[in-house]
Amino acid sequence: MIGERNIYSVSDVNRYIKAVLSQDENLKFISVKGELSNFKRGANGHLYFSLKDNDSVINCAMFSTYANKITFDPKDGDEILVMASVDIYPARGSYQLIVYELENIGQGMMLVQLEMLKKQLQKEGLFDISRKRDINIYPKAIGVITAKNGAAIRDIVTNIKRRYPICDIYVFPSQVQGESAPKELLRAFYKSQEYDLDTLIIGRGGGASEDLSAFNDEKLVRAIATSKMPVIAAIGHEIDTTLVDYVADKRASTPTGAAELATVDMREIQQKFQYAIEDMRDSIREMLEDSKDELSSLKEELNESILEKYENMKEELNSYKQRLEILNPKNVLNRGYSISMREDGTIIKSVKDVKIGESIVTSISDGTIYSKIEEARKK
């Protein structure tokens, strides 16, 4: 349990440290050399940047009164010499250099080395467009190399699940900045190669340029060049570029952008299906209308054909009727002829067919005559 002693607020501590630093003559108007990084101009004319060497980084601020006297255009990678005093920013409890003078003394060695490595890898063809592979936007599985608890993994997983929820996601956690980050990233990469993945995303959220240095590691870049599956790099923000960005098959400006490059949005697919269904319905309606018109036309043609066939058959029947009328024995009788038959109905065609005394029947147009043969003469 805390005994009876003075208890200070956080602000008290920060103000005390600021007072101590401001009284130390060894920290006033000192000259510091380093490589300029994360250079930004504020809206009020103040400059904010970092100075770094191979082992350390310190934040710097230069107020507009002094910034207006600079005779060159500072940029990241410049080797600079500043005259400054050490101060603390009480609101955050972080110390910084308040810069009064800034002198450009050349290009930083770290930037020179990085540029030399970039040119060497480019010469070897590791960044060639011909090496870039297309991304399968209908993946079964996607791998992600990033910090386990960072904002990047949340953005990537959330957007993949939102866009393409049927995809499996495998996370290979790694430190993304600091001294151990290159080795951990390399270990995570080799682990990812053991899985059957359609796409591998490697990345992190934004940060200072020195925070992204792990993604400039030569071993990591060369390893990614051998990846079995296409790689999407999503490192920092759009203005940040690392060697991993150059060797990757695709580069996204943000982790969210990587998720969008890696997948199709199922809502777009559903919308396309909806459009396709509507187009199909319209086509079916049009086909039905066309078929209806065609059936109507065929119906008319069929009716005309049936009517024509009927008329032809009617004429043909009338012709047959006329022929039958001509052949009708009754018509023959009407013209004054008669037909003689024996009592059994046999038509008498010759005098030889009758005998004297035999009874016969004769049909005429208006009746029947019964006779008996008395004499039969042959012509």
* Ordered DSSP codes for 305-324: HHHHHHHHHHHHHHHHHHHH
The CA R_g of the chain, rounded to the nearest whole Å, is: 54
Entry pTM: 0.53
Residue 30: the pLDDT is: 87
**237-246: string of b/e by CB count within 10 Å (b at 16+)?**
eeebbbbbbb
Asked if residue 223 lies in contact with residue 243, where contact means CB atoms within 8 angstroms, the answer is: no
For residues 88-113, average pLDDT: 80
274-330, pLDDT tens digit by residue?
A: 888 888 888 888 888 888 888 888 888 888 888 888 888 888 888 888 777 776 666
Q: Do domains 10-107 and 133-264 have the same CATH topology?
A: no
* Tokens, residue 254: 């943000």
CATH architecture of 10-107: Beta Barrel (2.40)
Q: What does CATH list as the number for 133-264?
A: 3.40.50.261
The beta-strand segments (E) located in 77-190 are 78-89, 94-107, 141-146, 168-173
- Torsion of Cα atoms, 127 then 133 then 135 then 136, to 10°: -160
Higher pLDDT, 276 or 194: 194
**369-377 contacts at long range (C-beta below 8 A, 24 or more positions apart):** 369/338, 376/351, 377/351
Distances (CA, A) of 269 to 19, 179, 257, 265, 266: 63, 44, 19, 7, 5
Domain coordinates in residue numbering, the chain = 10-107, 133-264, 268-327, 331-372
